[in-house]
Amino acid sequence: MRVLQSFPEGRATTNPYLLQLSRALAPSVEVFGFTWRRALTGRYDVFHVHWPEILLQGRTPGRALAKRMLFRLLLARLRLRRTAVVRTLHNVRSHEAAPRRDRRLLHAFDHRTTLWIRLNPFTPVPEGALERTIPHGDYRDWYSNRTSAAPISGRLLYFGLIRAYKGVDGLVETFRQFPGEVESSLRIVGAPQSNERAQRLLRAAAGDRRIELLLRHASDAELSDAIGAAELVVLPYAEMHNSGAALLALSLDRPVLVPTNAVTAALAGEVGPDWVLTYDGPLSAKVLADALDRVRRPRSAPDLTHRRWSVSASDHVEAYGRAVQAVRAR
- Top CATH class of 155-305 equals alpha beta
Angle, CA 277 vertex, CA 271 and CA 282 arms, to 5° = 145
**2-137+308-329 matches 155-305 in fold:** yes
CA distance 236 to 175: 12
DSSP letter for each residue of 265-294 = HHHHHHH-TTTEEEE-SS--HHHHHHHHHH
Per domain, the residue ranges of the chain are: 2-137+308-329, 155-305
Stretch (H or E) spanning 322: helix 309-329
The string of pLDDT tens digits covering residues 203-255 is 999 999 999 999 999 999 999 999 999 999 999 998 888 889 999 999 999 99
pLDDT of residue 183: 85
pLDDT > 70 in the chain, percent: 96
Q: In one letter, which amino acid is 106?
A: L
- Assess whether pLDDT exceeds 70 at residue 96: no
11 — pLDDT class (breaks 50, 70, 90): confident
Q: Please give the pLDDT value at position 95.
A: 56
Give the residues across from 115 on adjacent strands. 86, 130
* pLDDT, tens digit, 9 for 90 and up, residues 134-192: 999 999 999 988 777 789 999 999 999 999 899 999 999 999 998 766 689 999 999 99
Please state, in angstroms and rounded to a whole number, the distance separating the CA atoms of residues 2 and 29: 6
Fold of 2-137+308-329: Rossmann fold (3.40.50)
Predicted local distance difference test score (pLDDT) of residue 239: 84
Candidates 92, 159, 158, 84; CA nearest to 119 is 92
pLDDT for 146: 74
Q: pLDDT at residue 97 above 70?
A: no
Q: For residues 172 and 285, what is the distance between their CA atoms, to the nearest angstrom? A: 10
Question: What is the pLDDT, as a whole number, of residue 179?
Answer: 76
pLDDT at 91: 84
| Dihedral over Cα of 19, 22, 23, 24: its sign | positive
- Amino acid 32: pLDDT: 95
DSSP character at residue 242: -
**How high is the mean pLDDT of the chain?**
92
Rounded to 5 degrees, what are φ and ψ at 284? -140, 165
Helix (H, G, I), strand (E, B) or coil at 158: strand
Strands 2-5 and 30-32: parallel
**Model-wide pTM > 0.85:** yes
| Residue 124 pLDDT exceeds 70 | yes
